[in-house]
Structure 1
Amino acid sequence: MFRLGRMMAAAVAGVSLIVPLMPSTALALARLVDPAVTLEVKAVKGSGCLHDSSVTTDVPDKTAFSVSFSQFKATGPGFKNCNVQIKVGIPAGWTYSVYEAFNRGYAVLDRGASGRIMMNSWFTGFPWTLRADQTFKGPYDDFWQTDSAANSLIFAPCGASANLILNTTLRVAGPETSSMELFAQDVRVSTKFLLKWKEC
């Protein structure tokens, strides 16, 4: 009975050591929602993003930003390419890392046809690249998605802004009735980048 009492006292003491840490932990978590990037499309070129189409950006929340194409579609046999340069600004006192990217679209591929997406994305001056290279084979009539993760978690220099270069190619092998597009019809988001934040 005496041993049990000592164990209970030790447990209570352990809890009392944890309690003082909770307010500061909650404050730290709250501060992580403060930063957010700003985006500005600086240049767009390629057969997949002609002058009558549009490339837009969005920051749906402070953990991600996205790039969307209005008419990025390739039909067989052929390919389309789009190169986008985006100015990315970050708030003072914070730095960030882009650790994962998703591409999403729709494909209609006949039997024997195939659709391929090749994506390279990098920030000017950064020693790493996000890549995607995936092929979907027919028969196929559905949404498709790729998931690309960075090789390592590298944070941008504090107080610096960098341009994002996004180069994407869609290639379809098959008849003209086969197609592949980088355009998610339900949510209108083509490419999404996930962020991690850190105070400088």
Structure 2
Amino acid sequence: MFRPVMIGGAAVALVVAASFSPSAAADGAPPPDKVVIDVVSVNGSGCPAGTAAVAVAGDNTAFTVTYSDYLAQVGLGSRPTDFRKNCQLGLNIHVPQGYTYAIAKADYRGFAHLQRGATGLEKASYYFQGMSQTTSVTHRFTGPLSDNWRTTDVTAADALVYAPCGAQRILNVNTELRVAAGTSDPDTTNSFMAMDSTDGSVNTLYHFSWKECP
């Protein structure tokens, strides 16, 4: 069972077990002690204050992010700026001494209604404060489509970007949804993509790769 915690402008402390999944540690076993995550910032048109929530598993084995107002759209009923929505999370992840981590995998899901000729895009990037290395993955969708969607971002072992050992850096996770009318008629139709799902299941799930510092 998950415990939802609403996140707005204030920081929220989360306690998460180090072992997110049996395969989470690509280079070594996860640390034996629990990991504390502070949600220090939530910004973006896709996650206005009070519309995003962090849920911590009852056994502290995972954390997820869900959204209630993350929707990009074009056409009838939309505003000119609605074609793109984004959300940036700033996470301060406190790990036990002697360990560091990277984002190895992320699962996203939502619902899309795209008219014939319309297109959609889901993009996510991850980077540590003060570091130039950025991992970015883009997924594209083409109408006609009216169904739940799901994407998985997996970073190859040799491309993982780890937090610097012995330094506390904010992990920034930036997600984005875009919709383009394309050859569909925006005067008579509406196309949209949402970062949610019709059955209320988890929207995003983040997996860690751990390694010991020298």
Q: Which residue does 1:86 correspond to in 2?
A: 91
* 2:44 paired with 1:46: yes
> TM-score, with normalisation over the residues of structure 1?
0.70
Q: Which residue does 1:145 correspond to in 2?
A: 150
SS in 2 for 1:107: strand
> Is the alpha carbon distance of 1:129 and 1:90 closer, same or farther for their aligned partners in structure 2, counting shifts above 3 Å?
same
Q: Which residue does 2:35 correspond to in 1?
A: 37
Q: CA RMSD in A?
A: 2.8
- Shift of the alpha carbon at 1:157? 3.5
> Is the alpha carbon distance of 1:162 and 1:66 closer, same or farther for their aligned partners in structure 2, counting shifts above 3 Å?
farther
Query: How far does the alpha carbon of each residue in 1:45-77 deviate from its partner, in whole angstroms, 9 at most, with x for none?
Result: 221111241242536877754332222111115
* 2:184 paired with 1:194: no
Q: How many pairs does the alignment contain? A: 170
- Shift of the alpha carbon at 1:93? 3.6
- Bigger CA drift: 57-66 or 104-113? 57-66
Structure 1 segments unaligned to the other structure (5+ residues): 1-30
> Is the alpha carbon distance of 1:42 and 1:197 closer, same or farther for their aligned partners in structure 2, counting shifts above 3 Å?
same
Q: Which residue does 2:190 correspond to in 1?
A: 177
> TM-score, with normalisation over the residues of structure 2?
0.66
* 1:65-144 equivalences in 2 (<5 Å): 65-77=63-75, 78-126=83-131, 128-144=133-149
Residues 73 and 80 in structure 1, CA contact (< 8 A), matched pair in contact too: yes
Give the letter aligned to residue 69 of structure 2.
Q
- Bigger CA drift: 120-129 or 44-53? 120-129
Larger-gyration structure (1/2):
1
Higher helix share: 1
Identity of paired residues, percent? 36
Of 158, 167, 178, the match for 2:174: 167
Structure 2 segments unaligned to the other structure (5+ residues): 1-28, 76-82
- Shift of the alpha carbon at 1:106? 1.3
Structure 1 distance, partners of 2:197, 2:63, is 15
